[in-house]
Amino acid sequence: MTSTEILVGIDGSDAGSAALRWAEAEAQRRGTGLHVVLAYDLQWPPVRPQRFDEIEAIVRRQAESMVNETIKQIAGHSPDRAVRGEARTGLPARVLIELSRDAELVVVGSRGLGGFGSLLLGSVSDQVAAHAHSSVVVVRGRTDTGVGPVVVGVDGSPGSEFALGVAFDEAARRGCGLTAVTAYSQPLSAPGIGIPPLISDRDKVESDLRSYLDGAVAGWGDKYPGVSVQTEVVDGQATHILAQASTQARLVVVGSRGHGGFDRLPLGSVGRQLLHHADCPVMIARP
Residue spans of the domains in the chain: they are 5-139, 150-285
Beta-bridge mates of residue 85: 36
| Topology agreement, domain 5-139 and domain 150-285 | yes
Cα separation values, 252 from 61, 64, 138, 205, 283, Å: 38, 33, 10, 25, 6
Confidence at residue 1, expressed as pLDDT on a 0 to 100 scale: 41
Contact indicator for 274, 238 with CB cutoff of 8 Å = no
Q: Which pTM value belongs to this model?
A: 0.87
From first to last of its 287 residues, the chain has per-residue pLDDT tens of 456 899 999 998 899 999 999 999 999 999 999 999 999 987 766 666 677 778 889 989 999 999 999 999 999 888 888 999 999 999 999 999 999 999 999 999 986 545 433 333 468 999 999 999 999 999 999 878 889 999 999 998 889 999 999 999 999 999 999 999 999 876 545 556 666 655 567 788 889 999 999 999 998 988 999 999 999 999 999 999 999 999 999 999 999 864 444 444 345 688 889 999 999 999 999 98
For 227, other C-beta atoms within 10 Å of its C-beta total: 22
Confidence at residue 287, expressed as pLDDT on a 0 to 100 scale: 84
Residue 22 CA to residue 177 CA, distance in Å, equals 19
Confidence at residue 64, expressed as pLDDT on a 0 to 100 scale: 95
Specify the CATH superfamily of domain 5-139.
Answer: HUPs (3.40.50.620)
Phi, psi of 152 (to 5 degrees): -135, 135
For the structural domain made of 150-285, what CATH number should be given?
3.40.50.620
Cα separation values, 269 from 82, 195, 205, 273, Å: 36, 27, 23, 6
Confidence at residue 120, expressed as pLDDT on a 0 to 100 scale: 38
Confidence at residue 196, expressed as pLDDT on a 0 to 100 scale: 63
Confidence at residue 53, expressed as pLDDT on a 0 to 100 scale: 79
Confidence at residue 44, expressed as pLDDT on a 0 to 100 scale: 67
